Structure 1
Amino acid sequence: MDCSESLGYLVSHLNVSLQNELNERLHRYDLDIKVWPVLFSLWQEEGLTQTELSKRCDVASYTMTRLLDQMQSQGLITRNQVADNRRVFKIFLTDNAKAMEQDVIREAERVNDKFLKELSEDEQAVFMRLLNKINRLPE
């Protein structure tokens, strides 16, 4: 098998390229690639706990703690303590983070477009469907 036949190699190579491109664009907003999955998840649904965010972002709990600390110091999130459990906090976006949503999502869409431009619209749809199937995500 050579690298053009290795799923791991091809996906890894694509992932590094995608992350580098998105990270470069995120720097325009004083963000980095590490906070992208957290922001994206919270734009989808606020009020998640750290545990829920860790699962959604596929990040270890201790790593999520550091990311949330960083995001809080950047003024992107607030942590609201749950009334009946002092150890649990729900995570909410600040107005600042909400205000940048459309611009940052647009940057991510531009990255997608850049990497998918060699595929027809039908090929893009099939490619995304297959990636979701492999990752066992709903279509």
Structure 2
Amino acid sequence: MERNESLGYLVSHFNVELQREMDLRLKRYNIDLKLWPVLFCLWEEEGVTQTELSCSCDVANYTMTRMLDQLQAQQLVYRHQESDDRRSFKIYLTDEAKALEHDVIREVERVHEYFLSVLNDEDKKSLLRLLKRVPRNNVL
């Protein structure tokens, strides 16, 4: 197999470049790249449990705990304990995080536009459609 025909190589190379550019853009808002998926999910739907958020972001629950700790320290999220279950917390965005949504999403859209600019509209749609079809979390 040639390097330029290897899915792993091509995806890894693309991911490095994409993350580098996203990291530069997100740093302008003091957002660490690894926290981006959490904020993005919460902008779509807040008031979810940590477990639900872990599933949405494809990370382990203990990893999500650390991510939420960081976001809480930055005053971007808060945990609300449910009265009927002392072990369950729902995660909510602070006003500061809500105020960032439009600008941060626009920055990420610019990154996407840059990387997809070499494709025509049909190819962009096909790429996204195909990426959604690729299985995740499967073990050989």
For residues 101-128 of structure 1, give each alpha carbon's deviation from its aligned partner in whole angstroms, at most 9, with x where no partner exists: 0000000100100100111111111111
2:52 maps to amino acid: E
1: CA distance, partners of 2:12 / 2:56: 20
SS in 2 for 1:89: strand
The answer to whether 1:67 aligns with 2:74 is no
2: CA distance, partners of 1:28 / 1:71: 16
Displaced runs of 4 or more, over 6 A? none
2: CA distance, partners of 1:86 / 1:13: 44
SS in 2 for 1:29: coil
The residue aligned with 1:11 is: 11
Which stretches in structure 1 are left out of the alignment for 5+ residues? none
2: CA distance, partners of 1:113 / 1:83: 44
1: CA distance, partners of 2:113 / 2:3: 24
SS in 2 for 1:119: coil
The residue aligned with 2:23 is: 23
Shift of 1:132: 1.1
What TM-score results when the alignment is normalised by the length of structure 1? Answer: 0.94
2: CA distance, partners of 1:102 / 1:12: 29
What TM-score results when the alignment is normalised by the length of structure 2? Answer: 0.94
The answer to whether 1:125 aligns with 2:128 is no
Shift of 1:83: 1.3
For residues 57-76 of structure 1, give each alpha carbon's deviation from its aligned partner in whole angstroms, at most 9, with x where no partner exists: 01111111111001001010
Identity over aligned pairs, percent:
60
